[in-house]
Structure 1
Amino acid sequence: MAATQLSSASALTLKSLPSYEGLWSSRGSPSVNVSVVYPNSARRSFHGLIASAVSVSAAKYTSIKPLGDRVLIKIKTVEEKTSSGIFLPSSAQKKEQSGEVVAVGSGKRVGDDRLPVAVEIGKEVVYSKYVGTEVEVDGLSHLIVKEDDIIGILETDDIKDLKPLNDRLLIKVAEAEQKTAGGLLLSESAKERPSIGTVVAAGPGVLDEEGNRQALPVSTGNTVMYSKYAGNDLKGADGSDYIALRVSDVMAVLS
């Protein structure tokens, strides 16, 4: 058996063989190309062919129209290098949670009415991690998410100016304790993540079945205690820690 190594002289595409018609698709579907290697002595016989590589090309899209309360977001480009010009490996690149709204659906149906989506085309928004479906439009990465997966609208480049949607809150996290009760300095790994902070912005509340907003039980300026592993961690322009979470994740208002 000849070595299974691809070259322009020893590889062919199965599309040229009538007996392999089921391996490629027709209009609009992803195309499948299979490259095979065969012995030089058996170029006229295709028995015992070995597929050495299979590649699937995803369908390309030029436009997408979201349905219902879904939103199409153009994902913000991931920073591939530091401010000093050092390239970051993929594992060190921060997963973006923001982007520009490029298309919206017709809205969510409530009773006999259809409520329009609360974000407008062209707005910069922040969305929850690990939500939505990623698609490629005109060579750029986009995300289709439900309106409820959008945390809020970014009014500026600083997260402190985030305008939360629905029942979400933006909380500035209290600083972690730097020392133990005995006065010993704590290392970064030993500092306990606080679950207390100050509400800096609050959403308008959720809609009931009649389309009316329900007021939130907390407001801007309240100091609150929240579930330890809830929400999305965010970083302000000055390095301050923030968290965006639902009001249901708040356990108590502190005074």
Structure 2
Amino acid sequence: MATVQFSASSVSSKNLPSFEGLRPSAIRTSIYSPLRQGNLSLRSFRGLVVTAATTVTPKYTALKPLGDRVLVKIKTAEEKTVGGILLPTSAQTKPQGGEVVVVGEGRTIGKNKVEIDLKTGTQVVYSKYAGTELEFNGSNHLILKEDDIVGILETDDVKDLKPLNDRVLIKVAVAENKTAGGLLLTDATKEKPSIGTVIAVGPGPLDEEGKRKPLSVSNGNTVLYSKYAGNDFKGADGSDYITLRASDVMAVLS
């Protein structure tokens, strides 16, 4: 009887960037079966390919998201480091950003119709695990809810991110290099900080009448936030930043 064997080398992520929490574009399997009766000799066949992303066939030339959904063209992954070193596919970071292609008609809250305040061509950053990937018009896209879009990025530096809804942008505090007793810490033993300074806030979430509710934190606040929340980014200056919902901020420090 034929058996199916999976190995690390059998996973292919060609043409799609990889990231922590990898969703590969294809999975290859090696299939083995006996050559002779009573002797299980190895015989390999061409690998089967299972596509993970949804492919929209070329006969469909238009896609209109429904409700509060947005279609985003995914940004291409960086293939080189800042120093010009080529990165293998497995080391390329999956982008968390892209360009707005088309938006839905919005949603109804109470008696009010709330439109999506995003324009075609806007560069946005979205939650790491949000949406459904699809191949459309020969490019990789993501269709996701408007609330899964973290903010608008008008430059290439995350410190300039304009948060949306109830999101806040925080510059993460630098990790301590020494213990309280004066012992030096290596990068591997440094505890990830969960303290930082708020540098931008969104307009607030919508209430039952479709009006914005102001957030409880503001620019300049030093805050303590949930350690496992949000999306991490590296700024152009090498600093660490995180975007998260205001509800993940636990306290303001002073």
Letter of the structure 2 residue corresponding to residue 77 of structure 1: T
In the TM superposition, residue 82 of structure 1 has moved relative to its aligned partner by: 2.6
Are 2:133 and 1:134 aligned? Answer: yes
Q: Which moved more, 1:61-70 or 1:212-221?
A: 61-70
Find the residue that maps to 1:248 and give its secondary structure.
helix
In the TM superposition, residue 59 of structure 1 has moved relative to its aligned partner by: 4.1
Cα deviations across residues 120-163 of structure 1 (Å, max 9, x unaligned)? 11110000001101111221101001000000001211100101
Quote the residue 1:245 is aligned against: 244
Is the contact between residue 112 and residue 209 of structure 2 (CA under 8 Å) also seen in structure 1? no
Unaligned runs of 5+ in 2: 1-44
Quote the residue 1:13 is aligned against: none
Judging changes above 3 Å, is the alpha-carbon distance between structure 1 residues 178 and 140 closer, same or farther for their aligned structure 2 residues?
Answer: same
Is the contact between residue 56 and residue 134 of structure 2 (CA under 8 Å) also seen in structure 1? no
Aligned pairs (5 A) from 1:1-255: 58-60=55-57, 61-255=60-254
Judging changes above 3 Å, is the alpha-carbon distance between structure 1 residues 169 and 59 closer, same or farther for their aligned structure 2 residues?
Answer: closer
Find the residue that maps to 1:94 and give its secondary structure.
coil
Unaligned runs of 5+ in 1: 1-50
Is the contact between residue 63 and residue 137 of structure 1 (CA under 8 Å) also seen in structure 2? no
Quote the residue 1:46 is aligned against: none
Judging changes above 3 Å, is the alpha-carbon distance between structure 1 residues 249 and 85 closer, same or farther for their aligned structure 2 residues?
Answer: same
Q: Distance in 1 between matches of 2:153 and 2:49?
A: 40
Q: Distance in 2 between matches of 1:53 and 1:199?
A: 50
Letter of the structure 2 residue corresponding to residue 190 of structure 1: T
Letter of the structure 1 residue corresponding to residue 150 of structure 2: I
Q: Distance in 1 between matches of 2:226 and 2:46?
A: 51
In the TM superposition, residue 175 of structure 1 has moved relative to its aligned partner by: 0.4
Judging changes above 3 Å, is the alpha-carbon distance between structure 1 residues 52 and 100 closer, same or farther for their aligned structure 2 residues?
Answer: closer
Find the residue that maps to 1:190 and give its secondary structure.
coil
Judging changes above 3 Å, is the alpha-carbon distance between structure 1 residues 87 and 67 closer, same or farther for their aligned structure 2 residues?
Answer: same
Q: Distance in 2 between matches of 1:145 and 1:180?
A: 43
Q: Distance in 2 between matches of 1:216 and 1:204?
A: 7
Q: Give the helix-richer structure, 1 or 2.
A: 1
Cα deviations across residues 161-204 of structure 1 (Å, max 9, x unaligned)? 10101111000000000112232221101000010000000011
Q: For the aligned residues, what is the CA RMSD? A: 1.8
